């Protein structure tokens, strides 16, 4: 488990996670995202990137999904989850994923860099992790599938959004209520993946 933050004892979602058996308060972020956007449904196959300690995987299983979880760090077993230990920035990790399942209805990533305290560096690394997650998603996400990825906001946010927008019918950034108020994290929500091509922008597309 990640070290507890100094203010966790005053944090509502920290205690709710302990009460409800989730491994991290981040579980509520996915629950809130899913409640608003309907990303995961019963019977879906979900790829959870940067999964450890497993809060998002727990939520996906609770929602009725079959889950493959990936992280560079170990993760205690979760019933209904196949765990792969690997670095999402490495090609061999993609190959390991494909050995387990070649296509997914949903790809989610709550991966974050180790915080250095240098904001611009943390932002750039978070963007690179998000790009790595999307590079995997482009290879395994079914046409019409959904994608959720975390970034830290900064000067590269707009560029990253422009890179992803052509691939999805619906796309926007969203910060769930469970994100800490002082946090600059936000999530790209993409629905209706267009496959391995760049579909023409339609008038009905939402930004």
**114 included as an active-site residue:** no
207 in helix, strand or coil? coil
Strand positions, DSSP E, the chain? 45-49, 66-71, 81-85, 104-109, 141-152, 168-174, 185-193
Cβ contacts of 60 within 8 Å, gap of 6 or more: 30, 40, 46, 48, 67, 106, 108
* Cβ atoms of residues 129 and 70 within 8 Å: no
Q: How many CB atoms lie within 10 A of CB 135?
A: 13
Full 3-state SS string of 172-199? EEECCCCCCCCCCEEEEEEEEECCCCCC
Active-site entry in 150, 165, 181, 191: 150
Tokens of 148: 């959720």
| Cis? peptide before 53, omega within 30° of 0 | yes
Residues known to be catalytic: 150
């Amino acid at each position: 488990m990640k070290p507890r933050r100094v203010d966790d004892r005053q944090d509502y979602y920290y205690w709710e996670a302990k009460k409800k058996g989730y491994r991290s308060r981040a579980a509520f972020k996915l629950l809130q995202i899913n409640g608003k956007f309907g990303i995961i449904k019963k019977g879906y196959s979900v790829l959870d990137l940067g999964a450890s300690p497993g809060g998002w995987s727990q939520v996906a299983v609770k929602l009725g999904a079959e889950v493959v979880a990936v992280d560079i760090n170990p993760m205690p077993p979760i019933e209904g989850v196949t765990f792969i230990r690997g670095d999402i920035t490495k090609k061999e990790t993609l190959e390991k994923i494909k050995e387990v399942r070649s296509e997914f209805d949903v790809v989610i990533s709550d991966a974050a860099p180790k915080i250095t305290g240098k904001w611009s560096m943390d932002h750039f690394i978070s963007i690179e992790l998000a790009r790595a997650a999307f590079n995997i998603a482009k290879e395994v996400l079914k046409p019409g599938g959904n994608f959720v990825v975390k970034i830290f906001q900064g000067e590269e946010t707009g560029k990253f959004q422009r890179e992803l927008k052509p691939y999805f019918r619906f796309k926007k950034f969203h910060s769930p209520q469970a994100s800490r108020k002082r946090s600059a994290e936000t999530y790209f929500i993409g629905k209706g993946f267009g496959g391995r091509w760049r579909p023409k922008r339609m008038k009905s597309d939402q930004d």
